[in-house]
Structure 1
Amino acid sequence: MSLTIPADILPRNERYGSASNYILTLKKTGDHPLISETERTLVLSAENMELIYDYGTFTHSTALTRVYRVRVSTGGAALDLACKFGYSTEKLAALRNEAGHYLGNLKELQGKHVPVFFGLYEGKGGFQETLDLACLITIYSGEPVTSYNEELSPQVVQNIADAYQAIHRAGIWTNNYHEYNSLMDDNGKITVIDFDDASLHDCHATYRPVYNAPRPPIEDLGKCPELHRLCDFFEVWLPSFIVVNRHFIDLPITVEEIVDLAEGWKGYPLSGEEARAQGKAALDKIRDDWIRRGCEVPEKWWQYESQAED
């Protein structure tokens, strides 16, 4: 079982000789029920390949990763695939790592929170065919949530948090939780991708990230730093602190309480007027964020408004 790829998808500095294509051999096979009976010999061509992700440069092929969306028919089945290519020994090792996770800890999450794994193909190409080539194939699962050019809805944010928590509970630390690794299909289903740098993980988080819920206590957040950071990144929890003059201040608090705190700051001192102005601006930003998220805000935080009117 093999994968035939056109030579012109290699980095420009690796395109030598007269070869028009290269043949990679299937090394690891997915066995999800959706593709268990699917033929694994595929032929790709420029006509059925659409570049959807390009990382790296043409002059540094070891840093290059490309992902193509490929629509093919094999064995009477029409397939919509995501083909992730690596062009170096380093990337070959990374894609082997990713395939291992799909066949290991992530196996039960395929088709739910991670893509259905189709297979990993390996071979040689480039000058005198000395360049390591690898292609990891999964079922196409949608576009990055950032592609929709709109603010993520509360339900989408919750679905992202649930997907990552399921991955953590399966024993995987992703090392990569950016928006472009969270895909969404036409039905709003979230699928997390990109596990080539992932590692095994014994997650001790005891909380479920819930949109608009208060941030868990710091002792709970410390049990899983990645889950904590990704919830901050995707703004799962209600904002629970402000930053004034490089000082982190927990909420709830009033402007006058911020002014009182500022009197004790030594490293970056503020006058009472400066502390009041910066505190007001920080609380205004938090209030706008709470309103945007559809939450009621504690009125006492903004008592300075009535004071200003007196």
Structure 2
Amino acid sequence: MPTLRIHIAPTRDYHTTVHYTLSQTGPQDAAGSGDSSSQLEFSSCAELGSANSEVYRGILSKTDGSEQEVVCKIMKGDTMPLEAEADLYSTELKDLQGTDVPRFFGLFTGVIKAYRTRIACILLEYCGPTMGGYFDDYDMATRLVALTSRVVLTLNPMLTGLNRGKIIEAFVRIHNAGVQHNDIETYHVILDQSDSENLKVRIIDFDNAEKHTCTRKMEIRPYGFAPWRGDFMCWELYDLALDTDFWTPTWFSFMGFTVSVFETCDPKSLAEYVAPYFTLWPRDVLEKKAQELLQEFRDKYRDRAEFLDYPFDGFTDSDGSDSDGQSEGEESGEESGETASESDLEDGSNSEGTSSADEPGVTEPQDESAVTEVH
């Protein structure tokens, strides 16, 4: 049975070099030593993290003299989460190693005799630094370049023809393989942008993951308006698409109310919607606040206008120069001052003559109270 000698250089927790000797428990010879009685050696060169486990970057030396840069993840005491993670790498995630998750080189276990404490570690391919921070810390252009190539992700588990180097697509394949991550954060995503034509993504840290049969019922359409959570039927992928702005929000908050973007496309209607609850506020003040909110929404998602059936130029240009409430196309033909979005709202249709209820993934509330009750 292969053994692993671990040498952890002095860190903030260790003042001298620490040594452990562990035995490989599975899968046998994943590190490619070629000898079931061989001894592998890991020497750390940097500490990558220490929360529920200790994570080190270092060099794995094999008996044939070859070396490889790897990550050693160590857990002491209750090692079951790490052993469960190793099991996922060996089973459900086996076919995704080297593409969507790092290559897995084995689980090693032992006992710290002085403390009678169980210790376990896994060795993984080192793929580079994680994204870090939060998805909102990255500007919209960076997030969208990294997240989508304007494709449609279907329920096809093979995902043929799609770029394998995208975050959303990687998580879709992980779900198709039967695993739910349960801890999606930027620091669990490694994004290699050295090749702009073939972005490489690795998802890491599966110690909170579980086996999962994905029940999602809808396609994930880049830039499209977010569907109802209950219609989508997979909370993890749903939240990921929202958190990364892969979808366009179907709702926004105004004066404490959550309002559908399809019910109030112009400032006057939005102000009228909340006016009964703000009787002391002058109507022009409410309309000004409504205009600011709608303009912010339009400016933020204007680059998606070609993908969305929504009046992005409903009442003003992005620089606010169109103060009379008309778009450039209306100035020459209409004198009433009524905007396209106001007219659409009155007759219950959008700019192409279809009801907002016909929008993909959108279901209108049955009555006004269904919205006003949401705070």
> TM-score with structure 1 length normalisation?
0.79
> Which position in structure 1 is the counterpart of 2:236?
226
Amino acid corresponding to residue 2 of structure 1 in structure 2:
T
Q: Deviations over 1:225-280 (max 9, x none)?
A: 111011111111123321112222122321111112103448x9965345323322
Separation of aligned partners in 2, 1:101 and 1:262: 51
| 1:275 aligned onto 2:286 | yes
Answer whether contact 2:73 2:123 (CA < 8 A) is retained: yes
| 1:307 aligned onto 2:324 | yes
Answer whether contact 2:305 2:312 (CA < 8 A) is retained: no
> Which position in structure 2 is the counterpart of 1:213?
224
| 1:157 aligned onto 2:147 | yes
Gaps of 5+ in 2: 149-165, 327-336, 338-375
Percent identity of the aligned residues?
23
Q: How far off is 1:43 after superposition? A: 1.7
Q: Name the CA shift for 1:20/1:197 in 2 (closer, same or farther; >3 Å).
A: closer
SS in 2 for 1:23: strand
Separation of aligned partners in 2, 1:10 and 1:197: 26
Q: Deviations over 1:65-87 (max 9, x none)?
A: 22212123322433121111223
Q: Which moved more, 1:3-12 or 1:97-106?
A: 3-12
Q: How many residues align?
A: 289
Separation of aligned partners in 1, 2:229 and 2:115: 53
> Which position in structure 2 is the counterpart of 1:202?
213
Separation of aligned partners in 2, 1:8 and 1:76: 21
Structure richer in helix, relative to its length: 1
Answer whether contact 2:189 2:204 (CA < 8 A) is retained: yes
| 1:3 aligned onto 2:4 | yes
**Could you say which structure has the larger radius of gyration?**
2
> Which position in structure 1 is the counterpart of 2:72?
83
Q: How far off is 1:216 after superposition? A: 3.0
Higher relative contact order (CA closer than 8 Å, sequence separation 6+): 1
| 1:107 aligned onto 2:103 | no
Q: Deviations over 1:116-143 (max 9, x none)?
A: 1111111223x82323322111111222
Separation of aligned partners in 1, 2:211 and 2:280: 45
Answer whether contact 2:298 2:312 (CA < 8 A) is retained: no
Structure richer in strand, relative to its length: 1
> Which position in structure 2 is the counterpart of 1:142?
128
Q: Name the CA shift for 1:73/1:275 in 2 (closer, same or farther; >3 Å).
A: same
Amino acid corresponding to residue 202 of structure 2 in structure 1:
T
Q: How far off is 1:308 after superposition? A: 6.5
Answer whether contact 2:22 2:108 (CA < 8 A) is retained: yes
Q: 1:40-51 to 2 correspondence within 5 Å?
A: 41-46=39-44, 49-51=45-47
> Which position in structure 1 is the counterpart of 2:54?
66
| 1:119 aligned onto 2:106 | yes
Gaps of 5+ in 1: 57-62
Separation of aligned partners in 2, 1:31 and 1:22: 19
> Which position in structure 1 is the counterpart of 2:82?
95
> TM-score with structure 2 length normalisation?
0.67
Of residues 293, 298, 302, the one that matches 2:311 is 298
Answer whether contact 1:254 1:300 (CA < 8 A) is retained: no
Q: Name the CA shift for 1:134/1:37 in 2 (closer, same or farther; >3 Å).
A: closer
Q: How far off is 1:294 after superposition? A: 5.5
Q: Name the CA shift for 1:295/1:124 in 2 (closer, same or farther; >3 Å).
A: farther
Answer whether contact 2:100 2:202 (CA < 8 A) is retained: yes
SS in 2 for 1:202: coil
Q: Which moved more, 1:196-205 or 1:68-77?
A: 68-77
Answer whether contact 1:242 1:283 (CA < 8 A) is retained: no
Separation of aligned partners in 2, 1:81 and 1:245: 52
Q: Which moved more, 1:240-249 or 1:168-177?
A: 240-249
| 1:25 aligned onto 2:23 | yes
SS in 2 for 1:306: coil
Q: Name the CA shift for 1:110/1:277 in 2 (closer, same or farther; >3 Å).
A: same
RMSD over aligned CA atoms reads 3.3
Amino acid corresponding to residue 180 of structure 2 in structure 1:
W
Separation of aligned partners in 1, 2:17 and 2:125: 29
Separation of aligned partners in 1, 2:28 and 2:291: 56
Of residues 250, 257, 263, the one that matches 1:240 is 250
SS in 1 for 2:167: helix
